C-alpha cells in the first residue's frame, strides 16, 4: 500500500511537471513566458504594448507582435529580474531564481593527441580561425527580427545522443572546457537541416576544431552552430529556411567518428539547444 501511494505520488508529480511545461507562466495580463527556467535554457516571452523590456540591465529586442527571448548561461545562478515597461509607463517585474544545474562528466579517450594539445605548428591556424569566428559573430544582434517564431526542429532525425550540453570534458585524461552543445551520432552523409530560418554568418571550411561548419543567426541574438560536416550545402551570407539542408554529416575537425555537434548561443551565453525544441508553443500566442 505504501509503495502504491509512493508510486501515485511520483506519477502525480510527473503529470504536474508536464502540465507546468506546457502552460506558460502568466504573470499578469499581457506577459507570458514559455520554456523551463534553468541555467543553459532559452525562454520565449510574449507581451503586448511594451515600450521597453529589460532582463537585469540588458534591454531585450522585441517585435510588433511582442515576442522576445532571453537565456541563461551554463553557470548562471541566483536572482534575475525581468521588467516590462508598457506604453502607458506602467510596468511589471518578475524575479527568477536559478538553482545550480548539475552537469555530467564525460571522458573521451580515443581523441587524437593533436586535438587535446595542439602542436605549435597549428597555433597560428587556430588563432586565425578564432579571429574569423569573432568577426562573423560581430553581426550577432543586428538582425532585429525573430525568425524562429514558428518553432525549432531537430537538425537530424533519430540518432543517438552521445554528448550532452554542459558536460565537463576530459579528453585523454586532460580536463577541457565544458561541452557547449549536443552530439548526435548519425551516419556519414546524413543531411542536416537548419533548425529555424536565419542568415548564415559563416560557413567555414576545414577549421582546426570545428572542421566544416555552419553558424546561423536566427535574429534577436540567437545563433545555432553545426559542426564536423563532411560537405557544406550553404555559404556565408546565405539565407536559409527552417528545414533547408545546410550540410552533410562527417567527422572533420575534432571528432572521433561521424556525428553532428549542434550548439546554440543567445549573444555570448551558451544555450542548451534541446531547450529550443519545446518553444514552438509560442506560436499559438503569436497568432492570437
Ligand atoms: Zn560536440
**Extents of the domains making up the chain:** 2-101, 105-278
Least confident of 33-37, 163-167, 238-242: 33-37
Q: What class, spelled out in words, does domain 105-278 have in CATH?
A: mainly beta
Distances (CA, A) of 88 to 48, 50, 137: 12, 9, 36
CATH of domain 2-101: 2.60.40
Residues 6 or more apart whose Cβ sits within 8 Å of residue 162: 183, 184, 185, 259
> Which cell is 27 given?
504573470
pLDDT value at residue 74: 96
The CA 181 to ligand 1 mean position distance, Å, reads: 6
The CA 60 to ligand 1 mean position distance, Å, reads: 29
pTM over 0.85: yes
pLDDT value at residue 13: 57
Q: Tell me the C-alpha distance between 221 and 217, whole Å.
A: 7
HSE (side-chain half, CA atoms, 13 Å) at 202 = 22
The CA 254 to ligand 1 mean position distance, Å, reads: 9
Identify whether the C-beta of residue 195 lies closer than 8 Å to the C-beta of residue 224. Answer: yes
Burial 168-195 (b: 16+ CB within 10 A, else e): ebebeeeebebbbbbbbbbeeebebbbb
Across the range 163-184, mean pLDDT stands at: 91
pLDDT value at residue 266: 98
The CA 266 to ligand 1 mean position distance, Å, reads: 18
Least confident of 23-37, 157-171, 206-220: 23-37
The CA 221 to ligand 1 mean position distance, Å, reads: 22
pLDDT tens for each residue of 237-276 = 999 999 999 999 999 999 999 999 999 999 999 999 999 9
Identify the band that residue 73 occupies on the pLDDT scale cut at 50, 70 and 90. very high
* The pLDDT of residue 102 is above 70: yes
The CA 66 to ligand 1 mean position distance, Å, reads: 34
* The pLDDT of residue 285 is above 80: no
Residue 161: beta bridge partners? 184
Q: What is the dihedral of CA 165, 154, 68, 47, to 10 degrees?
A: -120
The CA 234 to ligand 1 mean position distance, Å, reads: 21
Amino acid at each position: 500500500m505504501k509503495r502504491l501511494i509512493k508510486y501515485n505520488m511520483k506519477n502525480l508529480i510527473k503529470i504536474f511537471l508536464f502540465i507546468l511545461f506546457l502552460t506558460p507562466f502568466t504573470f499578469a495580463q499581457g506577459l507570458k513566458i514559455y520554456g523551463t527556467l534553468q541555467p543553459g535554457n532559452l525562454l520565449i516571452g510574449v507581451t503586448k504594448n511594451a515600450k521597453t523590456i529589460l532582463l537585469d540591465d540588458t534591454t531585450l529586442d522585441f517585435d510588433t507582435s511582442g515576442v522576445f527571448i532571453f537565456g541563461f548561461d551554463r553557470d548562471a545562478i541566483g536572482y534575475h529580474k525581468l521588467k516590462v515597461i508598457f506604453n502607458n509607463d506602467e510596468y511589471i517585474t518578475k524575479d527568477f531564481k536559478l538553482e545550480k544545474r548539475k552537469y555530467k562528466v564525460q571522458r573521451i579517450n580515443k581523441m587524437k593527441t593533436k586535438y587535446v594539445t595542439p602542436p605549435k605548428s597549428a597555433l597560428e591556424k587556430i588563432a586565425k580561425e578564432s579571429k574569423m569566428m569573432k568577426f562573423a559573430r560581430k553581426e550577432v544582434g543586428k538582425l532585429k527580427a525573430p525568425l524562429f517564431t514558428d518553432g525549432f526542429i531537430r537538425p537530424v532525425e533519430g540518432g543517438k545522443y552521445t554528448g550532452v550540453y554542459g558536460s565537463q570534458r576530459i579528453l585523454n585524461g586532460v580536463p577541457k572546457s565544458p561541452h557547449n552543445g549536443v552530439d548526435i551520432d548519425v551516419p556519414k552523409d546524413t543531411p542536416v537541416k537548419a533548425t529555424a530560418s536565419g542568415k548564415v554568418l559563416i560557413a567555414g571550411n576545414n577549421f582546426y576544431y570545428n572542421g566544416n561548419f555552419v553558424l546561423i543567426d536566427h535574429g534577436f541574438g540567437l545563433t545555432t552552430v553545426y559542426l564536423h560536416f563532411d560537405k557544406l550545402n550553404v555559404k556565408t551570407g546565405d539565407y536559409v529556411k527552417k528545414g533547408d539542408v545546410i550540410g552533410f554529416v562527417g567527422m572533420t575537425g575534432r571528432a572521433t567518428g561521424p556525428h553532428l555537434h549542434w550548439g546554440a548561443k543567445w549573444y555570448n551565453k551558451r544555450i542548451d539547444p534541446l531547450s529550443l525544441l519545446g518553444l514552438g508553443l509560442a506560436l499559438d500566442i503569436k497568432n492570437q
